[in-house]
Amino acid sequence: MNLEVYMEVRKVSEAVIRRLPKYYRHLLILQKTGVERISSGKLAQQMRLNASQVRQDFNCFGGFGQQGYGYNVSTLLSEIKNILSLNQPYRAVVVGAGNIGTALANFEGFERDSIAIEALFDIDPALIGSSINGKPVLHTDELETYIKKNGISIGIIAARRSAAQNIADRMQAAGVRGIWNFAPMDLTEVEVPVENLHMTDSLLCLCYKMNQNNLYEE
């Protein structure tokens, strides 16, 4: 059974999907350090999971290990890369050339995953016509035309909250296949896949963990 059919028959949980990038990152490190094979127990130990969870996660996609041998690191990495659909290039644009947009444009890690940020868009006259890390900053009026002309598949929103939904609607209408949203609101009225990323959420969780013992002691 091929991967697409298998995934259609067996629905993959959101929790498993969230762990896939973690497996991918860890396997990249193992491959770079020359590790050729690894057991589910060892992989689980290194990632602070349990072996049963690791095997169950991989079984969602058919399973890739051999009993008594474990997993071939390069093969497993290739399979997960395929599951994450990183075996094809993606072209992206960023709307909002402020601090977040600039940081995204300067981040080199996207290229490893075949994701290329092609341009940024803004309404600030002081930014339009400039470039960030070799990527042009264009006026937002040009957004739809640029998306259609350049085959952009990912739209990244790094703009203010009040503009986010309108930008998402325009991106979707222009043909993007997914939206990565950094605006401080959850986009809900969008038909394409959306990842809403609130930058402070992880920090707030850290604050809770730092003080949870004190909460119960008071």
> How far is residue 167's CA from residue 149's CA, in Å, rounded to a whole number?
18
> Greater confidence, 156 or 66?
156
Q: In this model, does residue 18 exceed pLDDT 80?
A: yes
Name the CA radius of gyration of the chain, rounded. 20
Predicted TM-score (pTM) of this structure? 0.86
User: What domains can be seen in the chain, in order of their start residue?
Assistant: 3-83 (1.10.10.10), 90-201 (3.40.50.720)
Query: What is the amino acid identity at position 141?
Result: D
Helix residue ranges per DSSP H, 158-200 = 161-174
The 10s digit of each residue's pLDDT in 160-218 is 999 999 999 999 999 999 999 999 999 988 999 999 998 899 899 999 889 886 655 54
SS3 content of the chain, % helix, strand, coil (to 5): 50, 15, 35
Beta bridge partners of 90: 115
Average pLDDT score over the chain: 90
Q: Under a CB-based contact definition with an 8 Å cutoff, are residues 138 and 146 in contact?
A: yes
